[in-house]
Structure 1
Amino acid sequence: MTMPDSLKGLNRAETESWILKALESEKPLPLDDLMAVLEHFGSAGIDRRVDGWSELLQDALMQRQDGRGVLRVLALRCVWHAHEPAFKAICAKAVELSFTTRLGKVLFKHAGFDHGGVGASEAVRRMTLLSKLEKGVFCADKTWGFGIVQRVDDFYAKVAVDFDRKRGHEMALAYAAEVLDLVPESHLLVRLHRDAAGVKSMISAKPGELVRLVLMSYGPANMDAIKGYLCGTVMEEKAWKGFWDAARKALKSDPLVHVPAKKTDPLRLLESADDHIREQFALLDALRDPETILKQVDAFEAAGLLAALTPEFRKVVADRLAFAVWGAEDRTPILAARALLTSERLGVVDAGLLGDRRIDMQQAYNRLLEGTSLQDVLQGVPARLMPLLLERFMVLFPVACVERVLALMPVLSVPVLQESLTLLRKGDCVNRVDEALRGLLQTRKASPSVLFCLLRNGQEFASVIGDDISEILHQGLDTLEWPASGEMLKAQHQLRALYESGEWLGDRLDSLNPEQREVFIAKLQSSQGWDETGRRSVIAGIIKRFPELQKIISGKPDATAPKARARMTSWRSYRERQETFRKLMEIEIPDNAKEIAVARSYGDLRENAEFKYAKEHQRILYRR
């Protein structure tokens, strides 16, 4: 709904004077003009002054017992007060006082105002629909198709409708309010009802016009949707191909119909090139849902409508994106992040401020970075936007960004973690990042995603892994046994697939000494992080490359080795040896790995006595 030309140049004070004068007049209220004014000034969301105007108009309509007018005002106010549960009671009171007849009271009772699962906006919509039900009104139902209302029974609270598929069908008012749609006179279904022969003659005579009628009735639709609307009601399916070929040919020469190149993209009607663009931006300006706003802006960009924005349209885009940031950053910060990045990409930010809400871009980014949902934001934004978001954080808050991302490192998904590590290890941050990674390894708190990134990119992280990869390979086996879900479960699958890569694992085992390989394959054999088939496949690949490890798997000595005399031992000695082996595998070797990591952190390994001692101790342990 557009502002009347006579009101477009007025400021708020002048507009308020005009509204008061219109409400005090004894003449019929210019409701359409008043609603256009409210929608225009309330386009950025709730505004106390504009909401006050709407209350005055609502009171004036209630005094005149104009119930449908009251519902129009309430529908708009529900958008402004969408997050205020108490507003439903205000709506209920206004509607109850506006519909005082017996029928009105019955309709009010079944509109859902007293139903906890029905919001204020939906209750107003249902009441609006019920208030328009009367004999002769056209409607449609997904189950029964097109219908005509025959009567509304206020005693039994039912409406009787003659549907195409069921004559005289009675529906409870509460159910009718939920499922029925009202159908205007210009709709294809009404045209079929009034002149079925005339509509069907358009199949051969005016195929292009028939498709235009479908688009006018249902809005933009692709080929499959148009086929669904026409086949079975207007034509048989066997006639579709010939009809569509003729219709498409006719529509390509129609300047007021946009025919896309792809069959899956929708056809849409155009009034004129300029009018169509203006109408699209007016629709964007009326949107109040952040996700819908972003989808529409993306669609505009894909259609090339944002390539050269006029100041008027640029303001619309900036204001809607500002509204998306404002409306989403508390509830759905992922959408707020998308809106911030989109506004910068489109160049609609002025001096660091966005839209008529004057959203401070730096503060908005800071709230995202410091918020409790940073992990969800990084993992929830589209993959193409995630690096851009990290770069913005690094440009605006480099120190805080590094610390926040490092704190989240164990729980980040593999794609986000890889992108984060690549970005954070640039410049002066590499030492801080590597220190954090070494800390996770030393404390054995590295997650499957961290270990996957380190193992997969061994050369890049050589300063973190060091010259002994055995410990990180063992940690990888341990993390495969962790209970996991979501992104961590995906990371486990990726890590397991890495181990199952025979060539990759063989190259890593090549760098180990024989004792380390034996310990690794023994640990692999007892690991619970595999299904039996997968474990056997990995072990088979290792044995193929290192045949001497067969004795660890089979428990049989090497056939080429000289046979030793069997040694006898008591049960007590056997249990002592079992306990010694358990301590060796579960306590002494892990403790030694920590000692090596700590010693490595001291610096130069050539003159590092602690490191040399720890490595010598490791060789002794492996020999045992």
Structure 2
Amino acid sequence: MDEELARLLESAKIDRETATKIDRLPPGAFCTHKSWGVGKVDSWDLLGDRLVIHFEAKPGHAMKLQFAATALSPLPAEHILARRFEDRASLSKLAEEDPVELVRLVLASHQNEMSLDQFDAVVKGTIVSEGKYKSWWDGAKKRLRGDRRFVIPSKRNQPMQLRRDDQCPAEDMVREVLQTADLRSKAKAVESILRNADAFESPEQQLQQVVNDLSDSAQKGAKLMLSQAIELLLARADLVQRFPDLSVDPAHAQLADLLRLERDGLGETLRSLGVSRQRQALEAFPEAFGERWTTVIFGMLNTAGIRGVGELAKFVVDQGRGDELDDFLRVGLQQRAHTSDLIAWICKERKGRAANVVDLELAAVIMNSLERDHFGDETRRTNRLAETLQEDPELIPDLIENADLNMVRGFARRLMMSPAFDQLSVKSLLARIVKRHPQIQDLITGNQAEEREESIIVSWESLEAKQKELDHLVNVLQPKNREEIKIAREYGDLRENFEYKAAKQQEAVLRRQREETERDLHRARGTDFSSPDLSKCSIGTYVDIEDESGRKETFCILGAWDSDPDKGIIAYTTGAGQALVGKAIGETAELPTEDASKTRLVTIKAIRPYRTSSNS
């Protein structure tokens, strides 16, 4: 013991316990305080009953001897905290050059085991700056997982460990799988085994219990944690593939069995897996669902997101079932059943995997989807379809490449009326149309002096309905919208006023709808379809046709607003109507089909008037 301390002890000016503890804290020694952290003893003043300590955040702090003896804990000079206090710069350099060694030093100073939060407290913001810490730790973890000396946990509530030299890494890795209850952590532990496969001298003996444990855990967890159970069986498959001498009991859970447990919710289940795991799971679909496995995948397409759709579509095509995919996509487009994400994927793949289903109707499908999403009840979120339309400069030109001028005008009007885009975006999109079809410039500027639009023929009934639609818009919807704008103004700051912005957007929509409806009414010419020209197919006639297979049908050709396909009524402006009008009995016509690349050849068998003396 220090001589001066011994004299104080002999004279009873200090008790033995305090003297013993102070003796372990000579000048130059390191210590820790639970509140002030690491410190270094600067000097003693035993006669003055104090010692002076430089703490990291409290330099030159004086403490009474008895208080210092009870509050301070000695710290070895080789401890990471002492080294951080004495020479932080060299540790920061070590962190950059050899992060694994730094982690080893930290763990060795904490009895080879500590939580990730404890590790952060030692390194973050001191040895490694806060701004760089996340990227530094991500890189360090990759190196540590390749080093058998370390056990890196998959969860923050599990300890990080430095193995002793006499520990067997293979036994530790097996023990981690068997003792871990969390299914996802088990799968992570299997990844560690696969990365360190050469650590196992007799894998068929050391790892068979791991295979059995994975099977049992997946079976028990399948009902409550299906995605994690699937991930566990995929990890088991990787293990068996890496070590062929391992075996899976046929009575144990199989991947196909788990997939059948939740057929309707498989889309969400698979999305929780990584891309490579999704592919592995998909490869079990034929076994799980038999010949109709594609139907299950098609049911997932509308909820998969753009990236997920790509993976699912690629798998179907790779299995030689691309024609079925085309049929599903085509029918969904015709029925307006696809989500905006799936339609966005079709747009992106219009010259690739979706080339067989893209036709002139895709533009209308896009606008329907955008408007449906905009007015939907769900929370507004980024619309990938709207982004695709704006960010792909060739999409609109491709959509209207083979369209006639009337279809282009219709698409442009729809775009001008759409609430899905702000005014600046609308102008940008319209510019792409004008670049390809300069003739519609008048539609955008409102100057129609150079070109007068063609009149359209409609029934008196549809003309009256259209007029009522305009009356409702002018007398009900627009006044209601003006009142909503007035109320929204009272909510305050218009820059952050969502209600005001929404009402103003609706004002623009209603204004465009009114302009469109008024333009349509101006062009419309009403008729009762009496006295049609029966020498050829014309407006106001029934037409009996027969195709090459002998199939017979009857169409009724009426006005532009009178179409009712369920009743066999087609507008003369439709593709089928235009193909028939002007054809005489005995002549043939090519009618469009669901496949835009094909037509159906039909022969005109009879022509009859729509209006007769009995129904006029």
Q: TM-score, normalized by length of structure 1? A: 0.51
What are the within-5 Å matches in structure 2 for residues 112-123 of structure 1? none
Contact 1:378 1:416 in 2 (8 A): no
Q: Distance in 1 between matches of 2:180 and 2:174?
A: 10
Q: Distance in 2 between matches of 1:299 and 1:373?
A: 30
Q: Pick from 374, 378, 388: which aligns with 2:270?
A: 378
Q: What does residue 330 of structure 2 align with?
A: 438
Change in 2 beyond 3 A, CA 1:468/1:258: closer
Which has more radius of gyration? 2
Contact 1:352 1:361 in 2 (8 A): no
Q: What does residue 326 of structure 1 align with?
A: 219
CA offset digits 1:90-118 (Å, max 9, x no partner): xxxxxxxxxxxxxxxxxxxxxxxxxxxxx
Q: Distance in 2 between matches of 1:417 and 1:232?
A: 43
What are the within-5 Å matches in structure 2 for residues 183-332 of structure 1? 193=73, 200=82, 212=105, 214-215=107-108, 217=110, 219=112, 226=119, 228-229=121-122, 269-272=162-165, 275-304=168-197, 310-332=203-225
Contact 2:343 2:385 in 1 (8 A): no
Contact 1:353 1:361 in 2 (8 A): no
Q: Distance in 2 between matches of 1:345 and 1:278?
A: 19
Shift of 1:143: 8.8
Q: What does residue 536 of structure 1 align with?
A: 427
Q: Which has the higher helix share?
A: 1
Contact 2:302 2:338 in 1 (8 A): yes
Shift of 1:519: 0.4
Q: Pick from 283, 287, 290: which aligns with 1:391?
A: 283
SS of 1:608's equivalent in the other structure is strand
What are the within-5 Å matches in structure 2 for residues 121-200 of structure 1? 193=73, 200=82
Q: Distance in 1 between matches of 2:560 and 2:166?
A: 76
Change in 2 beyond 3 A, CA 1:387/1:581: farther
Change in 2 beyond 3 A, CA 1:505/1:437: same
CA offset digits 1:400-428 (Å, max 9, x no partner): 42122223333332222222223224556
Contact 1:214 1:229 in 2 (8 A): no
SS of 2:337's equivalent in the other structure is coil
CA offset digits 1:482-501 (Å, max 9, x no partner): 53769x955x3245323442
Q: Distance in 2 between matches of 1:231 and 1:416?
A: 37
Q: Pick from 431, 438, 441: which aligns with 1:550?
A: 441
Contact 1:386 1:416 in 2 (8 A): no
Contact 1:325 1:339 in 2 (8 A): yes
Q: What does residue 416 of structure 1 align with?
A: 308
Q: Distance in 1 between matches of 2:348 and 2:78?
A: 69
Contact 2:344 2:388 in 1 (8 A): no
For these two proteins, the number of residue pairs brought into alignment is 399
Change in 2 beyond 3 A, CA 1:529/1:442: same
Contact 1:548 1:558 in 2 (8 A): no
Change in 2 beyond 3 A, CA 1:300/1:532: farther
Q: Distance in 2 between matches of 1:141 and 1:404?
A: 63
Q: Which has the higher strand share?
A: 2
Q: What does residue 481 of structure 1 align with?
A: 374
Q: What does residue 13 of structure 1 align with?
A: none
SS of 2:321's equivalent in the other structure is helix
Q: Distance in 1 between matches of 2:364 and 2:128?
A: 70
Q: Distance in 1 between matches of 2:187 and 2:269?
A: 16
Change in 2 beyond 3 A, CA 1:502/1:371: closer
Shift of 1:215: 3.8
Change in 2 beyond 3 A, CA 1:141/1:474: farther
Q: Distance in 2 between matches of 1:141 and 1:377?
A: 50
Contact 1:410 1:450 in 2 (8 A): yes
SS of 1:534's equivalent in the other structure is helix
Shift of 1:383: 1.8
Shift of 1:448: 0.9
One-letter amino acid of the structure 2 residue matched with residue 382 of structure 1: G
Q: What does residue 400 of structure 2 align with?
A: 509
For structure 2, the residue ranges without an aligned partner over 5 or more in a row are: 1-31, 39-56, 58-69, 92-100, 130-139, 153-158, 455-462, 471-516, 525-558, 578-590, 605-616
Matched, 1:452 2:344: yes
Q: Distance in 2 between matches of 1:466 and 1:393?
A: 31
Contact 1:518 1:549 in 2 (8 A): yes
Q: Distance in 2 between matches of 1:301 and 1:430?
A: 35
Contact 1:290 1:327 in 2 (8 A): no
Change in 2 beyond 3 A, CA 1:498/1:374: same
Change in 2 beyond 3 A, CA 1:284/1:482: same
Q: Pick from 390, 394, 402: which aligns with 2:294?
A: 402
The alignment yields a C-alpha RMSD, in angstroms, of 5.5
Identity of aligned residues (%): 15
CA offset digits 1:491-522 (Å, max 9, x no partner): x3245323442222213222211111110010
Matched, 1:521 2:412: yes
Q: What does residue 232 of structure 2 align with?
A: 339
Contact 1:321 1:340 in 2 (8 A): yes
SS of 1:217's equivalent in the other structure is coil
CA offset digits 1:330-375 (Å, max 9, x no partner): 12211122112221122169999747x952315534435x434212
CA offset digits 1:103-162 (Å, max 9, x no partner): xxxxxxxxxxxxxxxxxxxxxxxxxxxxxxxxxxxxx9999999xxxxxxxxxxxxxxxx
Change in 2 beyond 3 A, CA 1:442/1:607: closer
Mean Cα deviation higher: 519-528 or 218-227: 218-227
SS of 1:384's equivalent in the other structure is helix
Q: Distance in 2 between matches of 1:426 and 1:270?
A: 46
SS of 2:424's equivalent in the other structure is helix
Q: What does residue 359 of structure 1 align with?
A: 252
Change in 2 beyond 3 A, CA 1:221/1:588: farther
One-letter amino acid of the structure 2 residue matched with residue 295 of structure 1: K
Q: Distance in 2 between matches of 1:275 and 1:336?
A: 29
Q: Distance in 1 between matches of 2:125 and 2:362?
A: 68
One-letter amino acid of the structure 1 residue matched with residue 233 of structure 2: L
Shift of 1:479: 4.6
Q: Distance in 1 between matches of 2:312 and 2:237?
A: 21
Shift of 1:449: 2.2
SS of 2:420's equivalent in the other structure is coil
Mean Cα deviation higher: 466-475 or 528-537: 466-475
Q: What does residue 457 of structure 2 align with?
A: none
SS of 1:511's equivalent in the other structure is coil
Q: Distance in 2 between matches of 1:513 and 1:552?
A: 15
Contact 1:258 1:268 in 2 (8 A): yes
Shift of 1:527: 0.8
Change in 2 beyond 3 A, CA 1:353/1:588: farther
CA offset digits 1:426-467 (Å, max 9, x no partner): 556334333322321222212112212222222433433346
Contact 1:521 1:539 in 2 (8 A): yes
Q: Distance in 1 between matches of 2:332 and 2:465?
A: 38
